[in-house]
Amino acid sequence: MERRGLIDVLPWLLSIRTALTLVDPVAVVVAGIVVLGTTNPAALTGGVAAAFLVCRSADLHRSRLVLYVLEDMPKLALAAAISTLALVGLEHDRSPGDTGAHVVEVGTCLVVAFGLLVLLRTAVYALTHTLRRKGLIAHPVIIVGAGSVGRELATALLSRREHGLVPVGMIDCDDDLSSRALPVPLLGEIGDLDQAMVDLGVNDVIFAFPGPPDRVTIDAVRRSVQADKQVFVVPRFFELMDQDHHRRTEVIRGIAVMRLRRWGWRGYPLLLKRVLDISLSTIALVVVSPVLGAAAVALRLETGPGVIFRQTRVGIEGRTFTLLKFRTLRPATDDEADTTWNVDHDNRLGPVGRFLRRTGLDELPQLINIIRGDMSLVGPRPERPHFVREFSQVQDRYHDRHRVPGGLTGWAQVSDLRGNTSIDARVRFDNYYIENWSFWSDIKILARTIPTLARSEAPRPDLISVLASGRPAPSDRTERVPSPS
């Protein structure tokens, strides 16, 4: 019978988040009852909420590799002060008395709350260190990069088990390496990483300057993140990072290790995204129904029958679907509709069609696609199969855009990458959105979409001819992808 460990029976013990979240309310409640003698539910609730919010915003509820109370003390002091003020401010049952006595009482409550926060957190850290050293809540990890940094990191983690990561192997492509020169076995080259993680049951990986080119390493990092692995990377110039480092960066024996954000496209955030899609699309259809009706009548008069245009587009995981939009002009042939990149400056466009295209109102029928589940409100714009094939041959990571549903609007679109604009930039913006997605980012993009509806597009060079000639557009390599903030 296979031996089962503690983490197999109680998997939530893999994280100390629950314990760290609970100790703060306990400290505040005990301080309020013992020092202030209050049992007022409003005061105790306010004090607990204040401590929780401060510690949460200070990132004190997250499991970390390096757990030292001394590093947390300034943040715990702030939590104690604010929670004490909340306790005193919401306590209405106190009778007026000597001001000096009240000041002493408040000061005593602050000191006791701070002491309890430190004491309880110290106990949780000590217990966590003990369980990690015994291997009960430790995580096996593979280190990608068998150079001096990777070897030193592996040695540090093996000698200091309280960090909670136990190296079980290394990955690199240096032919001169052998397992005898490494603190843990050599598992192969970077192409063997995925299979090695499956074979050894490993969910954590550290990238520490491996031998392959950066492009190969970045692809491996992205695959690991998308597979919902916990990924750490040793950043460039880590030697210059001091103790006041980024909240996701920790220092192990002088080596900074940055914890990458977990894959966001999972769990309840995706459910919230789908609820937002359905609710907003349904409301929008009702609200803009007069606009839809007026547009349909105007187009019927300008272009004749058949005001709804149906076109095949490529969606999530490369699956095709039928996209709906208003027919702003009637193409001569079906092939023209499938292979013509942009018709914004086509002489056949009438005033109605030109207005609808400039304002984006021709896209409104896609609200039906969103309700049906073909698309989302926010995501990479879905493209036609003909251009997907063309762009995939010349643009790195073009297919990575299909990891998520296409969208009516997106980060590229609100960043002025519409129409005849750089495909290379669009790909980078779309993949940036995917890899840094959050529910709030969709809200921000939707808010930024509204001002763009009335913004006309400036003429741009025809990118298709640029791609066909094999020469990159001048701006393709100089644009930076900004954060959607």
Confidence of residue 460 (pLDDT cuts 50, 70, 90): very low
Q: Which residue, 133, 153, 179, sits at the end of a domain?
A: 133
Confidence of residue 324 (pLDDT cuts 50, 70, 90): very high
Residue at 479 is within a domain: no
Residues 401 and 457 in one domain: yes
Residues 118 and 86 in one domain: yes
Residues 26 and 151 in one domain: no
pLDDT greater than 90 at residue 17: no
In this predicted structure, what is the pLDDT of residue 350?
A: 80
Total count of domains within the chain: 3
Residues 89 and 148 in one domain: no
User: C-alpha distances in angstroms, 318 versus 2, 223, 376, 421, 466?
Assistant: 41, 17, 15, 23, 25
In this predicted structure, what is the pLDDT of residue 95?
A: 56
- CB 118, CB 70: distance < 8 Å: no
- What single letter denotes the amino acid at residue 282? T
The helix or strand, by DSSP H or E, that contains position 166, with its residue range, turns out to be strand 165-171
The DSSP output letter for 141 is: E
The helix or strand, by DSSP H or E, that contains position 252, with its residue range, turns out to be strand 249-252
For the segment 155-167, the average pLDDT, to the nearest whole number, is 94
Residues 309 and 416 in one domain: yes
Residue at 116 is within a domain: yes
- The DSSP line for 283-345 is HHHHHTHHHHHHHHHHHHHHH-S--EEEEEEE-GGG-EEEEEEE-SS--SSHHHHHH----TT
- CB 346, CB 249: distance < 8 Å: no
Residues 121 and 157 in one domain: no
Q: Which phi and psi (to 5°) does residue 130 adopt? A: -65, -45
In this predicted structure, what is the pLDDT of residue 396?
A: 84
Residues 310 and 378 in one domain: yes
HSE toward the beta carbon, residue 116, CA cutoff 13 A: 26
Q: Which residue, 111, 133, 155, sits at the end of a domain?
A: 133
d(CA 273, CA 278): 9
HSE toward the beta carbon, residue 141, CA cutoff 13 A: 29
Residues 279 and 421 in one domain: yes
d(CA 479, CA 482): 9
Closest CA to 368 of 453, 259, 284: 284
- What single letter denotes the amino acid at residue 20? L
List, for residues 117-139, the tens digit of each pLDDT value: 999 999 999 999 999 999 888 89
Confidence of residue 10 (pLDDT cuts 50, 70, 90): very low
List, for residues 258-312, the tens digit of each pLDDT value: 998 888 888 888 899 999 999 999 999 999 999 999 989 998 888 888 889 899 9
pLDDT greater than 90 at residue 242: no
Residues 247 and 309 in one domain: no
Confidence of residue 63 (pLDDT cuts 50, 70, 90): confident
Residue at 106 is within a domain: yes
Confidence of residue 397 (pLDDT cuts 50, 70, 90): confident
Q: What percent of the chain has pLDDT over 90?
A: 47
pLDDT greater than 60 at residue 429: yes
- What single letter denotes the amino acid at residue 427? V
For the segment 61-74, the average pLDDT, to the nearest whole number, is 90
Alpha helix segments (H runs only) across 134-238: 148-159, 193-200, 214-226
In this predicted structure, what is the pLDDT of residue 201?
A: 92
Find the domain containing 196 and state its range.
Answer: 139-259
Report how far apart the first and last C-alpha atoms of the chain are (Å, whole number): 53
Residues 394 and 414 in one domain: yes
331 exposure class (CB count in 10 Å sphere: 0-12, 13-18, 19+): middle
Strands (E), 413-471: none
